Amino acid sequence: MLERLNIVPFVSVDNMMKLVLATGVERFLTDLAAYIEEDFRRWELFDKTPRIASHSSDGVIELMPTSDGVTYGFKYVNGHPKNTRSGRQTVTAFGVLADVGNGYPMLLTEMTILTALRTAAMSAVAAKYLAPKGARTMAMIGNGAQSEFQAIAFKAILGIDKLRLYDIDPSATARCQKNLAGLGFEVEVCTSSQQAVEGAEIVTTVTADKQYATILTDNMVGPGIHINAIGGDCPGKTELHRDILLRSDIFVEYPPQTRIEGEIQQLDPNHPVIELWQVIAGKVPGRSGERQITLFDSVGFAIEDFSALRYVRDRLKETGLYEELDLLADPDEPRDLYGMILRAAKVAPAVQQSEVLQ
Ligand SMILES: NC(=O)c1ccc[n+]([C@@H]2O[C@H](COP(=O)([O-])OP(=O)(O)OC[C@H]3O[C@@H](n4cnc5c(N)ncnc54)[C@H](O)[C@@H]3O)[C@@H](O)[C@H]2O)c1
């Protein structure tokens, strides 16, 4: 069969949902976690750069590129906390995987759903190495779009089955609780962050607010807990009181990016942090004591998206859940790009050449 060089597989939102449903959310998250761990173990061979951000007073638009030398990937993602008021998502995304050898895209996919899945899988991978052994209770502060994914990943990968939910908007908590019904969680709805963290071994903060917020104050954080801080991911947008950071061992994805965007933007630029890949690769220990406070200062890094893109690409053949997108101009003679337009005008003679070429 002739290779059709113009065609790029495209995974729409509809097909992504079908892929998630056909796979099962828990298996999808577990598979994705394995891809992330595999890429974190070969961290050193990736091209790495802090993501390229374009800020405005309303939010941020970011490009997140990386490559393992064989395959290149990038994600376009935005973060606009006010969006939910106009019926839009806070975070939307799409991504591309390309062949480093010839630069041709190999996959274009929606990544709004995929980002929620990869963020949750990443959090659970970090917690696997950092949370207290046998943890079963997680507080989740912020019950928006990311929240159910986080809960399900922590159940699938760590066995978390007790959730303590809090959101400033009770309708968000009610929706989260409803969506998680029947999945084996014991859910307690709380009326404050303070109440939510009581008795929790893991605390996930996943709120959206474009400001220095204080979702957790120092007195709420007892010894031995693991904090999975997701929502502080932009300059001027944090969730934890600085004093918590000073008492914690801080684990990060890529320090040059996290120092700009993470909770640690509140600290001295030389404050010691541990790179999570080194823990996953067995080079440095994760949790090392019962009273240790571990903090995963998550901002989301390009390699996680690369893993997610790789996973989706690997599932395409078996599932067929994609469309063929006529994305790349492919003239018969590669240098005859203009001639391709002229030939197209002959195929459609009713259209005036001047109109075609306008
Ligand atoms: N680290 C990462 O990799 C990563 C990935 C995706 C999203 N995020 C971030 O995670 C956050 C949540 O994303 P989302 O898509 O779920 O957003 P969302 O807008 O759907 O939900 C956020 C929720 O937080 C609640 N909230 C706001 N302030 C609060 C407060 N002070 N206390 C309790 N609840 C509060 C809101 O009511 C809302 O329900 C965003 O800040 C986003 O930028 C991070």
The answer, yes or no, to whether residue 85 has pLDDT greater than 80, is yes
The rounded Å distance from CA 116 to ligand 1 centre is: 11
Give the global pTM: 0.95
The rounded Å distance from CA 147 to ligand 1 centre is: 8
Best residue among 119, 167, 212, 254 to mutate for probing ligand 1, ranked by most atoms within 8 Å of CB = 167
Lowest-pLDDT choice from 1-15, 20-34, 192-206, 252-266: 1-15
Strand segments, DSSP code E, in the chain are 7-11, 52-55, 60-67, 71-79, 93-99, 105-110, 137-141, 162-166, 186-189, 202-205, 212-216, 226-229, 238-240, 249-252, 274-275, 294-297, 323-326
What percentage of the chain carries pLDDT values higher than 70? 97
Per residue in 203-232, pLDDT tens?
999 998 878 899 999 999 999 999 999 999
- Pick the catalytic residue from 39, 167, 233, 305: 233
Please say if 233 is a catalytic residue: yes
Instruction: Report strand pairing: 71-79 vs 93-99.
Output: antiparallel
Return the ligand 1 atom nearest residue 207 CA: 24
What percentage of the chain carries pLDDT values higher than 90? 93
- Say which residues have a Cβ less than 8 Å from residue 174's Cβ, sequence separation at least 6: 189
Determine if ligand 1 sits within 6 Å of the CB of residue 30: no
The answer, yes or no, to whether residue 13 has pLDDT greater than 80, is yes
What average pLDDT is seen over the chain? 95
The answer, yes or no, to whether residue 1 has pLDDT greater than 50, is no
The rounded Å distance from CA 208 to ligand 1 centre is: 3
The answer, yes or no, to whether residue 357 has pLDDT greater than 90, is no
Task: Over range 96-115, report the average pLDDT.
Answer: 98
The rounded Å distance from CA 81 to ligand 1 centre is: 8
Per residue in 159-169, pLDDT tens?
999 999 999 99
pLDDT at res. 272: 98
Q: Whose CA is nearest to atom 15 of ligand 1?
A: 145
